[in-house]
Amino acid sequence: MARTAGPLLYAWSMVDPEPGADALDLPLDAHLHTDLSPDANVPLDAYAALARTRNVAELAITDHLDFQPGAPAYAFTDYDRRLRTVREAGERWDGRPAIRFGVEITYERRHEAAIREHLRRLPYDYVIGSVHLARDHPLASPSTAAAWAATQTVHTASAWYWQEVTDAIHSGLFDTIGHLDVIKRWLAPLYGPFDYEANAAVYEPLLVALVESGAALEVNSSGLRAELPGPYPHPGQTYPPPAAVARFHALGGQRGVAGSDAHRLHSFGAALDQAYAAIRAAGFERLAFRRGARPVTIDLA
């Protein structure tokens, strides 16, 4: 199924609870969007203040970057402004929390050469590669989704997504792949629960490719804040731990990371402790990922 061109959809339905006063006591939130993303409204310092209050030691600021002309983050802000904003915040907060300069790049194979050149020229601390839904794709609108889905099986409806994710992994460009199976967000209301067990043949080659690539598996807690039973990747019926995360570990995957994918301040750290619990339950004893060219490990004790 070919992907429909057009602006991309990566704003989530915000159903998150307000954060409580309790400390999270977590080492890292590796997926955060500030007001330098077109779908977020949080000044970076607001995240840093909450992180200090709630004892989150490190933040990766991963604002969106698109390579499709006309897409929301195609020209929303420039590299120099994003770099300056993050580095100046890092100095202001003096390592409490540590603040890293990351990016979430929307991957499309047709733009891979441009993405590769961008990453060759311009350094980041941390790079997420994600596949997002075009705003003019039938799944993006309730007014068109049901009629379109009636002409598709769940496999044909999602084939374009899995192929783009596979290509993103094989590109070798990214430190991690964001919200590995977020397509289920749009599939579940139309086709019913999207369990790992029923779709193991889809997940398996992705997980094998991820292991072989050396990129980290992201456990993204935003699924726990939506009308879904678990994080991305999907838990399946063996939660906890998420079956896809456990399978990645069983296949030899050694790199895993967790992020909240917050776009609003009340989403900061929301369900992130559950993402950490899922990583531990799958057998991981530490977070491990590439930060640029440098491998990083963080004990989960």
Question: What is the C-alpha end-to-end distance of the chain, expressed in Å?
Answer: 44
The tens digit of pLDDT for each residue in 244-266 reads: 999 999 999 999 999 999 999 99
Cβ–Cβ < 8 Å for 140, 98: no
Tell me the pairing of strands 133-134 and 8-9.
Answer: antiparallel
Q: Among 209, 199, 90, which residue's Cα sits nearest to residue 154? A: 199
Give the global pTM: 0.91
**In terms of CATH, what superfamily is 106-299?**
Metal-dependent hydrolases (3.20.20.140)
Angstrom distances, CA of residue 57 to CA of 54, 94, 298, 301 = 9, 12, 11, 14
On the question of pLDDT at 293 being above 90, the answer is no
- Cα 110 from Cα 67, distance rounded (Å): 9
Per the model's pLDDT, the better-predicted residue between 53 and 237 turns out to be 53
**3-state SS, residue 4:** coil
Maximum distance among all alpha carbons in the chain? 55
Residues 6+ apart with CB under 8 A from 153: none
Write down the mean pLDDT value for the chain.
88
- Cα 219 from Cα 181, distance rounded (Å): 10
Cβ–Cβ < 8 Å for 167, 109: yes
Return the domain boundaries, the chain: 106-299
For residue 139, the 8-state DSSP code is G
Q: Exposure of 288 by Cβ count < 10 A (0-12 exposed, 13-18 middle, 19+ buried)?
A: middle
Task: Supply the pLDDT for residue 14.
Answer: 33
Q: How would residue 237 be classed by pLDDT, with cut points 50, 70 and 90?
A: low
Q: How is residue 248 written in tokens? A: 């990645």
Q: How would residue 241 be classed by pLDDT, with cut points 50, 70 and 90?
A: low
**3-state SS, residue 242:** coil
Half-sphere exposure of 298 (CA within 13 A, CB side): 18
Q: How would residue 240 be classed by pLDDT, with cut points 50, 70 and 90?
A: low
Q: How is residue 274 written in tokens? A: 């559950």
